[in-house]
Structure 1
Amino acid sequence: MLSHSRTPVTVVGLGAMGRALAAAFLDAGHPTTVWNRTAARAAPLVARGARHAGAVEDAVRASPLIVTCLTSYEATTEVLRLGAGALRGRTLITLNSGSPSGARAMAAWAGEHGARFLDGAVKNVPSAVGAHDTQLYYSGDRSVFAEYEDTLKVLGGDTSHLGDEPDLAALYESAVGATLLPALVGFFQGAAAVQSRGLPAATLVPYAVKWLEMIASVLPVFAREIDSGDYSEPLSSVRLFLETARWDEEFGRETGVDVSWNAPLHDLVRRAAEAGHVDDSISALVEVLRKPAVPSRS
């Protein structure tokens, strides 16, 4: 297909992810306009055929589809205010971090300026943008997604629409992202521990990957338990986690590794046991998470 038949796209924000998005559009033959507060970041993309707009308003006017990749909804609004008058009749897609309430506010702001709106999330690193298995999901007006679905699939083959509510992508982004830091810190703790024995952190990788695959395999079971509210046939019980908490502390002492980040997790397990879930599935922790602990008054 010739490039003139491809939807023109503007990418606003050229951090690592924004540059990857713009490069994917260029590689697929989309006429691509780029803008960034630091203009020098556009140079490599311009060398590949992108058009650099010197002003945000010019960038917005250049294309019917505007994709922003800034740090937050607030940052996006701040930048786009300079070109808000050009948004009418165009489609705005935001790919940034933020809360569901931020996405709702962004959708309202876009609507006030006459733009159609989708919010989205890229669930991978910049180097994976454009791959057939890279996951992105969007929320907002389904007809808008349908119109630009082929264009959006340029960014990743695993592209889906979550629903018409504009904040669903932000909701799932935060819900899925909640697993990231605990998983990484767990790996970093393990890496520090094996290094305390003079072993390379790299030796841990194949075993950690296999462990994460096992965790992935049981998530559907835990999801069914949570959705049904029946925790009575545990694969792994609250009691087991309660009894093994002390071994985490001993492991930290033996290896000289700070494991204090585990304390709130152990407290969550203890609270589940005290709430009557000691012999239930560990997925019963969701019942405790629905009732956050009340801070004690000193």
Structure 2
Amino acid sequence: MASGDDVVPVTLIGLGVMGQALATALVEAGHPLTVWNRSPDKATEVIRRGGRLASSVADAIDASDLVIICVSGYDVVRAILDPVAESLKGKVLLNLTSGDSTAARDAARWANKNGFEYLDGAIMAIPRVVGTEHAVFLYGGSAAAFTKIENTLKTFAPVGTTHFGEDHGLASLYDVALLGIMWGFLNSFLHGAALLETAGVKAAVFAPYANQWIGACTAFVASYADQIDEGVYPALDATINTHLATMVHLRHESTAAGINAELPVLFKSMADRAIAEGHGEDSYAAMIKQFRRASA
């Protein structure tokens, strides 16, 4: 539980699944909490735990100098707060709504025009781990605002709270980049499970091997990151030519087994382009050049 100067009143707008998790963490840490939601019935559990349901958005904002909003989109943020933007003057607005970097930067300009401090956040956690050491919350925007409310922010992520600086869009950029990694390995796992299923292998049997290999592949990340930053791609493990040969096997196995071969085809088509441009003997890190370009 927070104590002393760390215990400050907080207003939370939005009580969806993630909003409920945020509210629980705040109440359990001892913060006087005022909430507002379009459907008041969603506040029942928060009220039971000691929170207060505001009668209006304006009432909710008046209750605290820190206002947190977590709703379904940036358009909803503006729809809720535009009519009461004047009442946010002098306060800190923390937006934990999922979005993209353009929307985050637009929101920051809107906040500046209306005279209040703005932080944009990205939640890299599922609701049940909010408030634990497993939660990761990323922030971009005013350093002064972040410092002012940092202790409160640690209510959500005691060891996973990171501020990326004054650029309000960076948290969203990290968010989508990290989610891309998640979808990349999850889709690859599902493709592999479908492939092995044709030989009668259960996904649960395959899973430990998949996890072991995912862990092994993390060693490539640091090595390739250095090569990308330096712009030099020595093939210390394998060349793109070598990778291509095994991509062909994956595509063939997928097609022969009668399962979806779109992922292997994508992998091979990008490697083909890299080789055509003279990168066949470079490390796989040289594939970054393909990703830097806009899609055809």
Which of 281, 286, 289 aligns to 2:283? It is: 281
Matched, 1:121 2:116: no
Cα separation, 1, equivalents of 2:48 and 2:178:
36
Q: 1:233 aligns with which of 232, 235, 238?
A: 235
- Pair 1:23–1:266, CA change in 2 (3 A): same
Pairwise CA distance, 1:290: 1.7
Residue of structure 1 equivalent to 2:86: 85
Give the direction of change, closer, same or farther, for the CA distance of 1:197–1:281 in structure 2 (3 Å limit).
Answer: same
Retained in 1: the 8 A contact 2:6–2:151?
A: no
CA distance in 1, matches of 2:129, 2:141: 24
Aligned to 1:187: 189
1:56 corresponds to 2:57? yes
Amino acid at match of 2:115: G
* Aligned residue pairs, count: 294
**Structure 1: gaps of 5 or more residues:** none
Q: CA deviation at 1:195?
A: 3.3
Once the 2 structures are TM-superposed, how far is the Cα of residue 5 of structure 1 from its aligned partner? 5.8
2:217 is equivalent to residue 215 of structure 1: yes
2:277 match: secondary structure: helix
2:18 matches 1:17: yes
Q: CA deviation at 1:105?
A: 0.3
Q: Deviations over 1:41-75 (max 9, x none)?
A: 22122211111123222222221111111232222
Question: What is the rounded CA distance, in whole Å, between the counterparts of 1:46 and 1:273 in structure 2?
Answer: 62
Is the alpha carbon distance of 1:237 and 1:71 closer, same or farther for their aligned partners in structure 2, counting shifts above 3 Å?
Answer: farther
Aligned to 1:27: 28
Instruction: Provide closer, same or farther for how the CA distance between residues 49 and 197 of structure 1 changes in structure 2, counting only shifts above 3 A.
Output: farther
Return the alpha-carbon distance in structure 1 between the equivalents of residues 145 and 191 of structure 2.
Answer: 44
Rounded Cα–Cα distance in structure 1 between residues aligned with 2:5 and 2:224: 49
Residues 145-165 of structure 1: CA distance to partner in whole angstroms, max 9, x if unpaired? 111111101101211111112
Find the aligned partners of 1:262 and 1:271 in 2 and give their Cα distance: 14
| Structure 2 equivalent of residue 203 of structure 1 | 205
Cα distance 1:3–1:83, how it changes in 2: closer, same or farther (>3 A)? farther
Q: Is the 8 A contact 2:247 2:267 kept in 1?
A: no
CA distance in 2, matches of 1:147, 1:256: 57
What is the identity, as a one-letter code, of the residue corresponding to 2:194?
A: A
1:175 pairs, out of 167, 174, 177, with 177
Q: Is the 8 A contact 1:95 1:121 kept in 2?
A: yes
Asked if 1 retains the 8 angstrom alpha-carbon contact of 2:136 and 2:160, the reply is yes
- CA–CA distance in structure 2, aligned partners of residues 166 and 30 of structure 1: 26
Deviates more, 1:131-140 or 1:102-111: 131-140
**Aligned counterparts of 2:221 and 2:28: Cα–Cα separation in 1:** 36
Q: CA deviation at 1:280?
A: 0.5
Secondary structure at 1:74 match in 2: helix
Which residue of the partner structure matches residue 71 of structure 1?
72
Structure 2 gap segments, 5+ residues each: none
In structure 2, distance between residues paired with 1:7 and 1:16: 23
Compared CA separation, residues 56 and 236, structure 1 to 2 (3 A): farther
Retained in 2: the 8 A contact 1:46–1:52? yes
Matches within 5 A, 1:255-294: 255-294=257-296
TM value normalised by structure 1: 0.92
Distance 2:40 2:238 in 1: 54
Match of 1:107 in 2: 108
**AA aligned opposite 1:211:** W
Change (3 A) 1:227 1:19: same
Structure 1 residue identity aligned to 2:77: T
Please tell me whether the aligned partners of residues 34 and 42 of structure 1 are also in contact (alpha carbons under 8 angstroms). Answer: yes
Cα distance in 2 for partners of 1:144, 1:73 equals 20
- Quote the Cα distance in structure 1 between the aligned partners of 2:62 and 2:213: 49
Q: Distance in 2 between the 1:192 and 1:209 partners?
A: 16
User: Which range moved further: 80-89 or 224-233?
Assistant: 80-89
1:107 is displaced (CA, Å) by: 0.5
